[in-house]
Chains A and B, each alone.
Chain A
Amino acid sequence: MKTKKLLRKMKSFLSADQRAQIAKIDSLEKILKKLEKKELGLREKLEGEGDKGQHREILRKLEVIAAQRKKGEGLRQELEPLREQTAN
């Protein structure tokens, strides 16, 4: 299932022209950086959180961010060769 979706994403990237594809990879990286920053912020918050409910909520948020980042990293790895190709 995951492979299928990745292929679909790949297809959409490949169908655009190369310059646009590179711009998309850049956007992806920007979003991934923002997610990383958000994750760090949440981890800091988690340490000082005494309320059980809030603690649980932050953990869930972290779990979701982790899944999103994992998905994004996978996508970036798939697309990285394309950027290298363009650079060459």
Chain B
Amino acid sequence: MIRRILLPTILLVLAYGFWVSPDFKEIASGVAIFLFGMLAMEQGFQAFTGGALERVLKRTTDRLWKSLVFGSVTTTIMQSSSLVSVITISFLSAELISLAAGIGIIFGANLGTTTGAWLVAGFGLKVKLSAYAMPILVFGVVLIFQRSKVLHGIGYVLAGVGFLFLGIHYMKEGFEAFKQGIDLASYAVAGYPGLFLFVAIGILATVVMQSSHATLVLVITALAASQVTYENALAVAIGSNVGTTITAILGSMGSNIQGKRLAGAHLIFNLVTGFIAIAAITQIIGLVDWLSGIVGIAHDDYTLKLATFHTVFNSMGILVMVPFVQQLVSVLERWMPMPVPVFEQPKYLNEASIDFADAAIEASRKETVRLYDKALELIVHGVGLRRRDVFSEDPLEGFDGSEGGPFEERIQERYEQSIKSIYAAIVAFISRAQAGKEPENAEELLAIRMAGRDLVEAIKGVAHLQKNLKVLIHSENPEIRAAYEGIQRRIGYVVREVDGVRRSDDDRLAILSLNDTILANRQEDVLANEKLDSLVRKDRISATTATSLINDYRYAYRICKRLIELGQILFAVDHGDLLDAQRSLALDEDEIDAMSDHGEI
């Protein structure tokens, strides 16, 4: 229920926000563009999986110290720990690196980001990443259109980076109004209350501005103008370190569980580092003074001392956390377990019936019929038909491709979720139930198992057939279109007939009724192939298409054959000796062939 109303509620809140506040619109657009950038980057990195990038990453992150150096160096170059952390999340989502390596990179990024404070404090420099967004985007999009897989991948990565920058830019722009309101001097408070207050301000400012760099610039400027005390400025630096994790958390929203774990590691690391810095603030200040004396920083040069502080407390965090990386991985894996895919479970197969022949046969049959119901939907939608067309009274003769429904695109996924687990359970149940049973009962159980196999093979056939069917049913060539519409109709007809037998009041004729469907399938196949030969002779279709059609006719024939066979097993219920009598009257392969040879459709 909550799930059902959640999305509409979010959309309504967003729509209302866009209506009342242009700033909100800008911020929300920034978040959307940012997330889109994440997705694009992930797709780009996937192009390199199994290739050079994987090898480079493996070599540069196979040891913890290497991951630390990698994170530190890349953040120093890019001047954005947020960017490095979201890139790392996409590496992890694409399974290019391990979680432990990702954590190492994040730790390193925290050290690398302190160089920004040095640049700002020392040289007053700040690399404005948003200025690069547009050129990067343009280069990215140009490369996306290239055929080379590598260039295509690079294009997506660049477009992703461009969108990230652009997203951050919009978020910053949107928060400009809030930024104006943050006047640090007006909040100057001494002692621990001041410390906590300014840590909170640092967190808030970084979350709002989406950049710890921006917060540091703000505080360094305020410190240089004596608007804020040195201690309070240090607290803001601590807060900015914690606040910067919001970018990674935001980035992990579009990633898989590994990405979320990494964002969790980032948050834990920065929280622990923050706590250490708060708890040992006096000692760290003393250490910073001592180090400043050694490197020649003037006693009253608080801006450089702030940069030193930033480096010192992040280094301390790394020293404290590095020995616990494996424990951190275990904790995160426990807190955020891999989602277990939901598979359908058998409904009728129970232990109590396994020892009794009739009960075991009935349970297996019911479960296989349940499987049939699930599979039938997949088959019907897999060939672009709609249930209401297949199961209506209207003839399928006039049915054409334009009337069909959308093709079920996730056949494999739905097979894994709804079919495979039940089929596996049926196979296991029947194998166990067969043991020690009378030969005729064992044979019946085996036949039901074969019906399950027929279903699975029919689905696999549909998955193969669909590749051409969904494209060529819309072909410009009317002959090709008609051929594929014929395939659709043939499968629809067989499904209708088999299901008709199932729903018929008289299951005493199930096997015999489906004899006719076998004949229809044969005749359709012969006729379709004869027509195909004629089209090739008249040059109405190309040899390549003819080859595809030959294969697809074969798939269609087999799908129908499997469906009929399973229908003859599943829906012919034994009523004393009637089943044997039916079998003795059923036409065999030779008899049907003979009818097919001289028959007309």
A83 interface hit (Cβ, 8 Å): no
Q: Which residues of A contact B397 (CB under 8 A)?
A: 51, 53-54
Q: Which of A5, A27, A31, A63 contacts B509 (CB 8 A)?
A: A31
Chain B proximity mask over A8-24: 1 for CB below 8 Å, otherwise 0: 01000000000010011
Q: Which residues of B contact A63 (CB under 8 A)?
A: 595, 599
How far is it, in angstroms, between the C-alpha of A34 and the C-alpha of B601 when the chains are bound? 25
A71 interface hit (Cβ, 8 Å): yes
**By the criterion CB–CB under 8 Å, are B577 and A24 in contact?**
yes
**By the criterion CB–CB under 8 Å, are B591 and A67 in contact?**
yes
**By the criterion CB–CB under 8 Å, are A75 and B512 in contact?**
no
B395 interface hit (Cβ, 8 Å): yes
A64 and B516 contact, Cβ closer than 8 Å, known pairs A9-B584, A31-B508, A53-B395: yes
**By the criterion CB–CB under 8 Å, are A67 and B587 in contact?**
yes
Residue of A nearest to B591 (CB): A67
Residue of B nearest to A59 (CB): B600
Interchain nearest-CB distance for A41 vs B (Å): 11
**By the criterion CB–CB under 8 Å, are A27 and B586 in contact?**
no
**By the criterion CB–CB under 8 Å, are B578 and A30 in contact?**
yes
**By the criterion CB–CB under 8 Å, are A1 and B590 in contact?**
yes
Q: Which residues of B contact A32 (CB under 8 A)?
A: 585
**By the criterion CB–CB under 8 Å, are B578 and A31 in contact?**
yes
Interchain nearest-CB distance for A8 vs B (Å): 10
Q: Which residues of A contact B520 (CB under 8 A)?
A: 57, 60
A38 and B509 contact, Cβ closer than 8 Å, known pairs A56-B601, A60-B516, A64-B515: yes
Q: Using C-beta atoms within 8 Å of the partner chain, give the interface range for chain B.
A: 20 to 34
A45 interface hit (Cβ, 8 Å): no
How far is it, in angstroms, between the C-alpha of A67 and the C-alpha of B591 when the chains are bound? 9
How far is it, in angstroms, between the C-alpha of A38 and the C-alpha of B512 when the chains are bound? 11
Q: Which residues of A contact B249 (CB under 8 A)?
A: none
Residue of A nearest to B516 (CB): A64
How far is it, in angstroms, between the C-alpha of A13 and the C-alpha of B118 when the chains are bound? 99
How far is it, in angstroms, between the C-alpha of A54 and the C-alpha of B520 when the chains are bound? 13
How far is it, in angstroms, between the C-alpha of A24 and the C-alpha of B582 when the chains are bound? 11
A43 interface hit (Cβ, 8 Å): no
Residue of B nearest to A23 (CB): B577
B7 interface hit (Cβ, 8 Å): no
**By the criterion CB–CB under 8 Å, are A68 and B586 in contact?**
yes
A71 and B580 contact, Cβ closer than 8 Å, known pairs A34-B508, A60-B516: no
How far is it, in angstroms, between the C-alpha of A32 and the C-alpha of B584 when the chains are bound? 11
A35 interface hit (Cβ, 8 Å): yes
A46 interface hit (Cβ, 8 Å): no
Interchain nearest-CB distance for A54 vs B (Å): 6
Contacts of B557-597 to chain A: CB distance below 8 A: 576-578, 580-582, 584-588, 590-591, 595
A71 and B587 contact, Cβ closer than 8 Å, known pairs A27-B576, A60-B601, A64-B595: yes
How far is it, in angstroms, between the C-alpha of A56 and the C-alpha of B584 when the chains are bound? 27
Q: Which residues of A contact B586 (CB under 8 A)?
A: 68
A61 and B581 contact, Cβ closer than 8 Å, known pairs A27-B576, A34-B509, A71-B587: no
Interchain nearest-CB distance for B504 vs A (Å): 10
How far is it, in angstroms, between the C-alpha of A30 and the C-alpha of B512 when the chains are bound? 13
Residue of A nearest to B601 (CB): A56
**By the criterion CB–CB under 8 Å, are A61 and B508 in contact?**
no
Q: Which residues of A contact B581 (CB under 8 A)?
A: 24, 27-28, 30-31
How far is it, in angstroms, between the C-alpha of A5 and the C-alpha of B587 when the chains are bound? 11
Top 9 A-B residue pairs of the complex, sorted by shortest distance between their CB atoms: A27-B581, A27-B577, A53-B397, A64-B516, A28-B581, A31-B581, A72-B585, A61-B516, A68-B585
